[in-house]
Amino acid sequence: MMLTVNPPGAISKSQAAFLGNITLFCKLPSAAIHRKLPAGIHCNLPSWKDSRKLTTHHLVSHRVAPKRWLCQSSGSVSSDDEYRSSRNIAISLFRRYRNVIDRGGGDNLKEFISAGVNAYALGCTDEGLRKELIAMKESGIEIEAMQNYGGSTSLKSKICAEEVDECILWLSIIFITILCTPQPTIVRWSSTPPVSDDVLHQWKGFCALIANAYYIRGMAWLPVKTLQLEQMAVVGRAEEPSVVASRMRLVFSTLEVVSPQWPRV
């Protein structure tokens, strides 16, 4: 049975009319649905065979102008070239990932998320971008750091395997979070699934729990223990609390970027 999502009263009447007749776009693991989700939601993800029947749409968001997702590059790759190839997209994402690691979250994290949303909308897959980064790692290419505000830098460093894995995991979580938003929050140019079945199985319940809290209860945080229990139910182990908290922050921040619910102060 498909139940509709009723968003919090803080959003506009037009948004409420739109969101009131749609469901979250993913299905939680059966072990977690009755344990943690409130009664207001049950979401169902179409099979990948069904997804291949989707038609190609224009790169738009129903509430955000297209130019929002074509974020400007602040590095050596020009804004005109940044999304011209999967290689350039991979470089853009990786440099922004490093920027978050080196300089902290906040605006840096939003920059990474915006680049990830662009990649989703343009039809990229997490494994496709992983292959691009691995190919660059194996060839010994050095990636230039993002420019500092008010100045420039020529610092370059090689890519390591651990960085690739974590960067692509972040990207996968962003992609799955978009799948957990009321449709069509971000329209995708390709019918190719953005993430593999295994990755989707591992993270869809995690992201949907957070999306559930965000849309239905107007929350911006969940108990870490709740999310650790979800991980235990799905993969039999849970990450450290600090790591789980950082994953949760990535999901909530993605929701704030692609589907803002409250006016900015």
pLDDT at site 183: 75
Structure tokens at 45: 């993800």
| Alpha helix (H) residue ranges in the chain | 13-19, 30-36, 48-51, 86-103, 107-121, 126-139, 161-179, 197-216, 224-235, 241-258
Question: Chunked in runs of 10, what are the mean pLDDT values of the chain (265 residues)?
Answer: 38 38 35 35 35 31 34 42 84 94 90 96 96 92 68 69 95 97 87 96 97 93 96 96 97 95 68
d(CA 210, CA 228): 12
pLDDT at site 154: 53
pLDDT at site 231: 97
Query: Could you count the other beta carbons within 10 Å of the beta carbon of residue 215?
Result: 24
Query: Nearest-CA neighbor of 216 among 264, 171, 265, 259?
Result: 259
Q: What's this model's pTM, rounded to 2 decimal places?
A: 0.69
Evaluate whether 206 touches 227 at the Cβ level (below 8 Å). Answer: yes
pLDDT at site 263: 66
207, β-bridge pairs: none
pLDDT at site 182: 87
d(CA 222, CA 244): 10
d(CA 260, CA 144): 32
Using DSSP's 3-state secondary structure scheme, residue 4 falls into coil
pLDDT at site 69: 36
